[in-house]
A and B are shown apart, each in its own frame.
Chain A
Amino acid sequence: MNNIELQLNKVLKLDQEKKQALSVIKRTKTKKVGLHQLTITQEEKVQMTSKANKFYDAKISTIYKAMNLELKNAGHEELENPYQTIMKGGN
């Protein structure tokens, strides 16, 4: 397996981790603050979702940058990072 295949597998793995994280955020309804259990507001959920998206998209972006450097040095066409082009601030 060549390096580009390995790196793309890492991207797919990160995508799955991201989906799991977003799914947990979606399902979670309360948070603990000291001894109190408080309801998570819609606004907080949006913030958490945005944070998770940014975290994983940044990791994926690093992989694409490394891959593209390798491809560029080898004289090949660079890969488009789908997570960057369609990235949204928070959804």
Chain B
Amino acid sequence: MKIELVKKIKEIIAAYQANNEQSIKEIKKIIDEWKDKVNQYRDDFLHQTLTEGLTEISDDSKKVNKVYNQKLKAVIEEAKKLMLPMMIKPVKRPSDYATKVSNTIEYLKLEGEEITDNSAYMYLKDFIDDYDQMKLFKNVIEKLIKRVNPFGLTNAEGKTTFPKTFGKLNQVEVVLNTFNEMEAIANMLFLYGKETDQTYFINGHGYVLPMEGLDEEMDEATILNQAAVVESIAKEVPGVETITDQTDHETVES
């Protein structure tokens, strides 16, 4: 199974930007066509014709951008569907599982604040693949060491102090959080109201060229960075292949 998140998102952004550029070209064309005819037509006719023409272009562009937004969400959903089952596999819980969990918690409590990554791993190695259970064990250990390490299971630099025990859990959490952040950005990406770059004045009426705003550009860069984070983790997940993006994507969706 292959994951091509960065490549696909880059292609969608490039297509979206090309669509915007095309709209701007069309708007400029209409303005150029009519700006020299101010003396030939009545002002209200000229204004109505220009407004209708520009609205039509803007409406058409919004429809296409909505499709790009839907495509972006579909791409993220697909990557999620591909990766998460490889990372969070269903765990077989034997009949004495609850007893084992309970005993393990007692052992962890006995270790108390002296607990180390190695000792924790010895107790928890049989539970490593159980994402939900490991989250609970993580909470238990965090509480145990809270007094000696106010940063919890990380050091002052934010790096994990229990990589052996919670490395896999941390990886899953990073992926889940990254997907959540990507989905939050994808909700509005390509649908922002456009910012105004240039305004043309004809007979006292202003006609604006819609441009991509700074917020939108930042969100595009952020979502690409997050896609790269997901792909870098995907490389370490058995069963998920990543496709390294080595090309510039200036192409437009056909």
Contact = CB atoms under 8 A, between A and B. Distances in A.
Chain A complexes with chain B: yes
Interface of A: 1-2, 4-5, 8-9, 11-13, 15-16, 19, 76, 79-80, 82-83, 86, 91
Contacts of A76: 77
Q: Which 4 pairs between the two chains have the least Cβ-Cβ distance?
A: A82-B66, A82-B63, A4-B74, A8-B71
Given A15-B67, A80-B66, A86 B74 contact: no
B71 A86 contact: no
Interface residues of B, number: 18
Interface in B70-118: 70-71, 74-75, 77-78
B74 A83 contact: no
Given A13-B254, A91-B56, A5 B74 contact: yes
Interface string B30-52: 00000000000000000000001
Contacts of A91: 52, 56
A2 B253 contact: no
Given A5-B75, A86-B59, A86-B62, A79 B70 contact: yes
Contact of A2 (B15, B52, B74): B74
Interface of A is mostly: helix
B60 interface: yes
Contacts of A2: 74, 77-78
A15 B64 contact: yes
Contacts of A8: 67, 70-71, 74
Nearest to A22: B60
Contact of B60 (A5, A19, A80): A19
Of B15, B64, B74, B254, most A-chain CB atoms within 10 Å: B74
16 contacts: A1-B78, A4-B70, A4-B74, A4-B77, A4-B78, A5-B74, A8-B67, A8-B74, A11-B67, A12-B253, A15-B64, A19-B60, A76-B77, A80-B66, A86-B63, A91-B52
B78 A5 contact: yes
B85 to A, nearest CB: 15
A15 to B, nearest CB: 6
Given A15-B63, A82-B66, 13 more contacts: A2-B74, A4-B70, A4-B74, A4-B78, A5-B71, A5-B75, A5-B78, A8-B74, A12-B67, A12-B71, A12-B253, A86-B59, A91-B56
